[in-house]
């Protein structure tokens, strides 16, 4: 009996050491998740696009997921009334018709509402004189004012370099060159990847981040080093090996061993499938009663359940789900 107890005690020691070792490994191990610098247009909805079942995908695409939920609480009459008001906003040239292009623009705005909400939050903190504009001086003072008083902060971060980079981006966003940003220009400054005329600055900043040897290019090791740090690891994760192959086979198009500005642009700003345009064409096709390629307010409201939800559509879907069970 004593021997049995001794064996259990002896066996527990190596088990404990193994457990302790695994804990240390978990603590010290670095994450191997891939850093993604590629800017993709997100999906319009996480729901399945199957109009034979419901129009949930279309509602999310047209309104944005959060706003779509609010329509589900409205009566059909209320949904139609609010939809009619939205149509007036979509018709940008006020000619009484909604074109595919106007509908596409609206969908993109609806999908990126979070960007405009972010701009609104930051606007209040930077428009110091509340004149409806933000000058570079206002932004600089609001963001870096306390740093300018202490050019050598304790944390060692190079704020002056960051400020210079911000100023360059601000000037790029400022179309008329007066160093005063309208709300649209300020949006381009904060979210440059959303604007065609700002894409060069996105590429430039990305290359500066990754190009460690300062030669103006991104070589293979810089490309991998931006995503993954070896830290003495003998074996790379499989995705790192795949990225090496991607660099050689697809990123470095001219096979000179490095990515230039155009190759970097093709990498981080790919020409994706335009989900908003595809959805706009779908909505027009399904609602265009006279097949003239554009929609009147009446055509849209007549097909309101395709564009927005209501208590009726939500209740109907609930019945379908109930019947399935």
Report the first-to-last Cα separation within the chain, whole angstroms.
59
Which residues neighbour 249 within 8 Å (Cβ) at sequence distance 6 or greater?
Answer: none
Q: Which of 41, 58, 21 is nearest to 281 (CA)?
A: 58
Residue 145 has what pLDDT? 83
**pLDDT at position 233:** 61
Q: Report the share of the chain in percent with pLDDT over 70.
A: 81
Specify the pLDDT at position 7: 34
Distance CA(315)–CA(143), nearest Å, equals 49
pLDDT of 74 = 94
Whole-number pLDDT of residue 313 = 54
Q: What is the pLDDT of residues 110-166, one digit of tens each?
A: 988 889 889 999 999 999 999 999 999 999 999 988 776 665 655 556 788 899 999
Residue 57: name the closest of 277, 278, 279 by CA.
279
d(C-alpha 283, C-alpha 199), whole Å = 30
- More confident: 3 or 185: 185
DSSP helix/strand/coil, 258: strand
**Three-state SS for 32?**
coil
Residue 316 has pLDDT above 50, yes or no: no
Whether the per-residue pLDDT at 174 is higher than 70: the answer is yes
Residue 284, pLDDT above cutoff 70: yes
Tell me how crowded residue 174 is: count the other CB atoms within 10 A of its CB. Answer: 19
pLDDT of residue 77: 95
Least reliable range by pLDDT among 18-22, 202-206, 216-220, 227-231: 18-22
Per-residue pLDDT at 154: 59
289 vs 25, more confident: 289
For residues 302 and 289, the answer to whether their CB atoms sit within 8 Å is yes
Confidence of residue 68 (pLDDT cuts 50, 70, 90): very high
Confidence at residue 155, expressed as pLDDT on a 0 to 100 scale? 55
For residue 95, the model assigns a pLDDT of 97
Structural domains of the chain in order of their starting residue, each with its CATH number: 56-111+277-324 (1.10.238.10)
Residues 75 and 65: their CA atoms lie apart, in Å, by 19
Bridge partners (DSSP) listed for residue 249:
none
Res 16 pLDDT > 80? no
Which carries the bigger pLDDT value, residue 193 or residue 272?
193
Question: How far is the C-alpha of 85 from the C-alpha of 297, rounded, in Å?
Answer: 9
From the DSSP assignment, how many helices (H) and strands (E) are in the chain?
17, 4
Tokens of 122: 């930051």
pLDDT at 223 over 80: yes
User: If you ran DSSP here, which 8-state letter would residue 132 be given?
Assistant: S
Question: Is the pLDDT reported for residue 18 higher than 60?
Answer: no
Least confident piece of the model among 27-31, 208-212, 303-307, 321-325:
321-325
Tell me, what's the pLDDT at 151?
57
- Give me the mean pLDDT over the 257-281 stretch: 93
- For residue 206, pLDDT over 60 is answered with yes
| Residues 6 or more apart whose Cβ sits within 8 Å of residue 13 | none
pLDDT value of position 171: 98
pLDDT-based confidence at residue 288 (cuts at 50, 70, 90): very high
User: pLDDT averaged over the chain?
Assistant: 84
The 3-class secondary structure across 234-265, one letter per residue, is CCCCHHHHHHHHHHHHHHCCCCCCEECHHHHH
Q: What is the pLDDT of residues 80-111, one digit of tens each?
A: 999 999 999 999 999 999 999 999 999 998 98
**pLDDT category, 219, cuts 50, 70, 90?**
very high
């Amino acid at each position: 009996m004593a021997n049995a107890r001794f064996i259990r005690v002896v066996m527990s020691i190596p088990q404990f050491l193994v457990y302790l070792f695994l804990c240390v490994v978990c603590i010290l191990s670095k994450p191997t998740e891939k850093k993604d610098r590629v800017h993709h247009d997100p999906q319009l909805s996480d729901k399945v696009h199957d109009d034979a079942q419901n129009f949930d995908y279309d509602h999310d695409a047209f309104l944005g997921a959060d706003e779509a939920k609010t329509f589900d609480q409205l009566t059909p009459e209320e949904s139609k009334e609010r939809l009619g008001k939205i149509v007036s906003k979509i018709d940008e040239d006020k000619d009484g018709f909604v074109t595919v292009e106007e509908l596409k623009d609206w969908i993109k705005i609806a999908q990126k509402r979070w960007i405009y909400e972010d701009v609104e939050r930051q606007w209040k903190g930077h428009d110091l004189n509340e004149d409806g504009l933000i000058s570079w001086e206002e932004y600089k003072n609001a963001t870096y004012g306390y740093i300018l008083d202490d050019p050598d902060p304790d944390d060692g971060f190079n704020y002056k370099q960051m400020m210079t980079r911000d100023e360059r981006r601000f000037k790029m966003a400022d179309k008329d060159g007066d160093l005063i940003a309208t709300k649209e220009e300020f949006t381009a400054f904060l979210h440059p990847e959303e604007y065609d005329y700002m894409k060069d600055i996105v590429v430039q900043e990305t290359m500066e981040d990754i190009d460690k040897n300062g030669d103006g290019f991104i070589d293979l090791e810089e490309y991998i080093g931006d995503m993954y740090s070896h830290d003495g690891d003998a074996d790379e994760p499989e995705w790192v090996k795949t990225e090496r192959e991607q660099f050689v086979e697809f990123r470095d198009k001219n096979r000179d061993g490095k990515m230039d500005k155009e190759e970097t642009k093709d990498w981080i700003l790919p020409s994706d499938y335009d989900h908003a345009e595809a959805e706009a064409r779908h909505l027009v096709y399904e609602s265009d009663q006279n097949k003239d390629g554009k929609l009147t307010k009446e055509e849209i409201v007549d097909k309101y359940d395709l564009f927005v939800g209501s208590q009726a559509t939500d209740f109907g879907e609930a019945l379908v789900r109930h019947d399935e069970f």
